[in-house]
Structure 1
């Protein structure tokens, strides 16, 4: 059929120039065009459109699953982010607590070191004062002995008699007491 329409179209094309508008073949061409259109529509509705709908449905389902999976992943990421933020906040608090404890411990160590230093200085001061007192007592004894000897020599020369050491010591002691009283009275 198509070959006869083709042959007729070729013969008419040579005679008039536009065979599709020639009235002898126009009605049959319209009939076959309409029949071909409805056959094509039937085939499209029967095989192609359901296949396309199946493909679109599967893609839609896949996109929906991907969206749900992305939403679950986003929720999981939000949960992990909140968890990490909590961990960071706990770490900051722990760090702040540790720093505060270290400061308190450093202050305690410093206070302890100052107390120990004060005790050591007080011990050294007491030791130095004891040493000074011992040295002063020894110096006073040495001065007293020297004064006794000088007094004995001076007295022997003045009196021309010998004075005993105990007598000289008592005289020096009396003289020193007299000097101390006079010195205290001057201040």
Structure 2
């Protein structure tokens, strides 16, 4: 199931990419997908307890710069729609090179922007809406700036994405200590 007759597997990328090897996700069952409300990232939770994030290379939450968003093809967006609960087995996963038109409106500059995307392939037939679960699906990062007055996009470029294990900070133990107030209570007779 590593390819399909209509669309071959994307060629592998360099070995020194950021993050984890996408092949590590093959065979895992994706149970939920959650998009961050504050940052350009998606968290993928798998049945074995593994949590992986799709992140934008170079994104700094303190110095955000040009607004960045994760985008995906409509069929993947449909698969991830709803409450974020899914039940999809990953049959293949790869970092792929995409090429898109970037531009800067004020100067009418335009260029081809090569960037990395994450491509997934899932097991299973079409779902109830006719969306194919077994084809290739892609997630990529777009950077856009809009004119505040008109809302028109005046700058668009793309950036690389990568996969990384979710790093959780250690939780502090919960203490159910009683509140101490300076008052002493005496038993009621």
User: Into which bin does the TM-score normalised by the smaller protein fall?
Assistant: under 0.3
Structure with larger Rg: 1
Q: Which has the higher contact order (CA 8 A, sep 6+)?
A: 2
Higher-strand-fraction structure: 2
Q: Is the helix fraction higher in 1 or 2? A: 1
